[in-house]
Structure formats: C-alpha cells, structure tokens
C-alpha cells in the first residue's frame, strides 16, 4: 500500500440472516444488492466492483462471519445527506446510536447505527 492506492479495497459485513440483512440495507440505502453463494457462504454485493477504483464489498453469512456491535467501524457513503438514509434505519429494523453529527465543514457529517444483524456501523456524508 502507498499514497496512490485506497487503504480499503474490500469489505464484508457479517450477517446472521441474509434475507433480513439484505432487506435492511436495500431499504436504508435505496439500492439493490446482488445475492449469490460462493465458497459455502451466502453473499450479497453492494454496488461497486473493486476493479475500477471503487471499493467493493458485501454482506456475508457463513461460518467465519459473526455479527458484532464492537470492533472496526465501516463508514458507508450516505451522500448527498445522511439524514435520508439515517431516517430509514429504525423502520428497517436497526437502531440509531449516534445522530447526525458534524465533524468539520471540510469533512462533513457522521452517524452511528446498529444494523438488523447487531453490527455497529457508521455513515458519512458531505452534508
């Protein structure tokens, strides 16, 4: 890794119930996740392929994936305004744990939430 590459090239969000988790993320972010099975695991992919400079990732249900509210936080892109996605979290089965909070004028805003699987997650937007 150097200054010309992304620090993150792939992410996986552990899930206990793929159907429930897929529905949660599709509702909150107004996206469609492509679902497949690979290497004995259920997976559902976020938009982005990881091959064109866009970071890719997905939901994974399998023996090596256990949801957790503790540990590393993944900040999902909630542009143009995270109020839109954050406003959908509780109706979709999650819980907002830190409301929209300004970081700085230059960096934008952040919020924390617990997803439908019990994972501690985050959102970021410029506004």
Kindly report which listed range (16-25, 35-44, 52-61) carries the lowest average pLDDT score.
Answer: 52-61
- Model confidence band, residue 1 (pLDDT cutoffs 50, 70, 90): low
Q: In b/e form, how buried is each residue of 86-98, taking b as 16+ CB within 10 angstroms? A: beebeebbbeeee
Q: Tell me the per-residue pLDDT of 91-100, one tens digit each, with 9 for 90 and over.
A: 999 999 999 9
C-alpha 104/C-alpha 122 separation (Å) is: 17
> What element of type H or E holds 85?
helix 82-86
Give me the residues paired with residue 96 across strands.
113
- The CATH number of the structural domain formed by 10-125 is 3.10.180.10
C-alpha 51/C-alpha 19 separation (Å) is: 27
Extents of the domains making up the chain = 10-125
Which tokens is 57 given? Answer: 């990732």
- Average predicted confidence (pLDDT) for the chain: 92
C-alpha 56/C-alpha 48 separation (Å) is: 5
Pair 46, 71: CB distance under 8 Å: no
Q: Tell me the per-residue pLDDT of 46-86, one tens digit each, with 9 for 90 and over.
A: 987 555 667 889 999 999 999 999 988 999 999 999 999 99
Pair 45, 58: CB distance under 8 Å: yes
Pair 73, 122: CB distance under 8 Å: yes
């Amino acid at each position: 890794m150097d200054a010309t590459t992304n620090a993150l090239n792939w992410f996986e969000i552990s899930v206990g119930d793929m159907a429930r988790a897929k529905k949660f993320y599709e509702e909150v972010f107004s996206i469609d996740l492509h679902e497949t099975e690979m290497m004995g695991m259920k997976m559902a992919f976020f938009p982005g392929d990881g091959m064109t400079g866009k970071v890719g990732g997905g939901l994974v249900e399998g023996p090596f994936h256990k949801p957790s509210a503790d540990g590393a936080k993944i900040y999902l892109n909630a542009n143009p305004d995270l109020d839109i996605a954050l406003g959908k979290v509780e109706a979709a089965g999650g819980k907002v744990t830190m409301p929209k909070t300004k970081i700085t004028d230059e960096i934008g805003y952040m919020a924390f939430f617990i997803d439908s699987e019990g994972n501690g997650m985050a959102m970021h937007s410029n506004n």
